[in-house]
């Protein structure tokens, strides 16, 4: 997820701002208004993105990791899982704003699917820790290196955690939404793996 800050995302006016403010998740409205409209933005915000790079990077991660998690859960359960982890990611984001006393952030709409996709990454880590992820590595030249999922996703999570801890209010990125979604995804992945093992036994 990302804060909707026009200067950061390249927009300064127009309908995009109005759409973000209407359908993006505004933490202050969720906390204080407690209306159905405010609560509905837990879902609608997942479908909004600031620009093509924001959308494309999210879809790339979903393309790489999502199909395997969907195969494990099944189509219907995967859909429910996706939205639940997206909602829990938003809850983690709101909690982080309150914890870090980010008053300005409470008024900013947050948009994007990365909280839900972080849930997919967390579930993938638990379900397929030994799977190898083809990764572009830049060492003078570009190499394609198969990296175990536990290393690739562990590194990704460490970056989110360090960024969220050391610079939670910088860059327009809702790091704690990523962290919350990832942890939720790991939890549901572990529950499903345990259930599958019991059924096989």
For the chain, list the domains and their CATH numbers. Answer: 2-200 (1.20.1540)
Mean pLDDT of 75-100: 96
Cα torsion 173, 175, 180, 186 to 10°: value is 110
Q: What pLDDT score was predicted for residue 7?
A: 47
Mean pLDDT of 68-84: 96
Lowest mean pLDDT among 13-22, 62-71, 99-108: 13-22
Alpha carbon of 140 to those of 86, 146, 188: distances in Å? 38, 18, 40
* Residue 10 pLDDT greater than 50, yes or no: no
**Helix (H) and strand (E) counts for the chain?**
10, 4
**Is residue 5 within 8 Å of residue 172, measured between CB atoms?**
yes
Q: What pLDDT score was predicted for residue 102?
A: 85
Greatest mean pLDDT among 48-57, 73-82, 104-113, 164-173 lies in 73-82
pLDDT band at 175 (very low <50, low <70, confident <90, very high): very high
Handedness of CA 163, 168, 174, 179 (dihedral sign): positive
Q: Is 138 exposed, middle or buried (CB count within 10 Å of its CB: 0-12, 13-18, 19+)? A: exposed
Q: At what angle do helices 75-99 and 175-200 cross, to 10 degrees?
A: 140
pLDDT band at 131 (very low <50, low <70, confident <90, very high): very high
Angle at 54 between CA 48 and CA 55, to 5 degrees: 60
* Residue 148 pLDDT greater than 90, yes or no: yes
* Residue 19 pLDDT greater than 60, yes or no: yes
């Amino acid at each position: 997820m990302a804060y909707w800050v026009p200067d950061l995302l390249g927009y300064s006016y127009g309908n995009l701002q109005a759409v973000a403010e209407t359908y993006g998740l505004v933490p202050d409205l969720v906390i204080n208004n407690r209306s159905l409209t405010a609560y509905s933005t837990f879902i609608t915000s997942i479908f909004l993105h600031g620009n093509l790079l924001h959308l494309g990077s999210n879809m790339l991660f979903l393309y790489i990791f999502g199909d395997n998690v969907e195969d494990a859960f099944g189509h219907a359960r995967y859909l429910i899982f996706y939205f639940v982890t997206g909602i829990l990611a938003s809850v983690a984001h709101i909690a982080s704003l309150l914890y870090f006393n980010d008053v300005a952030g409470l008024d900013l709409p947050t948009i994007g699917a990365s909280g839900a996709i972080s849930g997919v990454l967390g579930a993938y880590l638990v379900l397929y820790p030994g799977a190898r992820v083809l990764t572009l590595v830049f060492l003078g030249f570009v190499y394609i290196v198969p990296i175990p999922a536990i290393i690739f996703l562990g590194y990704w999570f460490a970056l989110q955690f360090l960024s969220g801890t050391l610079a939670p209010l910088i860059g327009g990125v809702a790091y704690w939404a990523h962290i919350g979604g990832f942890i939720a995804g790991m939890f549901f992945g572990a529950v499903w793996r345990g259930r599958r093992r019991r059924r096989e036994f």
